[in-house]
């Protein structure tokens, strides 16, 4: 969340441990993405991975273009 805030990205957060059915939602996300851990970051409806994946994309210079393409920046 910190990096996305620093970049000025528009995003929504669902805290799965704080919503009804969060465990079921996490199971569904795992079925959809193959990733069982959180955060599971989506950009433009596609999972781009977790925190370390997002940071790698940013370090490589690929995160901001992806956010711009999706309308989040």
**pTM reported for the whole predicted model:** 0.89
Is 9 in contact with 72 (CB distance < 8 Å)? yes
What does the block give as tokens for 59? 């370090």
What 3-state class would DSSP assign to 16? helix
Task: Give the model's pLDDT for residue 71.
Answer: 97
| Ordered per-residue pLDDT tens for the chain, 73 residues | 999 999 999 999 999 999 999 999 999 999 999 999 999 999 999 999 999 999 999 999 999 999 999 999 9
Would you mind telling me the total number of residues written for the chain in this entry? 73
Residue ranges per structural domain of the chain:
2-70
| CATH homologous superfamily, domain 2-70 | Glutaredoxin (3.40.30.10)
Whole-number Å distance between alpha carbons of 38 and 35: 8
Q: What is the DSSP letter of 41?
A: E
């Amino acid at each position: 969340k910190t990096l996305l805030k620093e970049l000025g990205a528009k995003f929504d957060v669902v805290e799965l441990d704080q919503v009804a059915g969060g465990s079921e939602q996490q199971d569904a996300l795992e079925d959809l993405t193959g990733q069982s851990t959180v955060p599971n970051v989506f950009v433009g409806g596609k999972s781009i991975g977790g925190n370390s994946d997002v940071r790698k994309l940013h370090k490589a210079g690929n995160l901001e273009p992806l956010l711009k393409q999706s309308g989040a920046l």
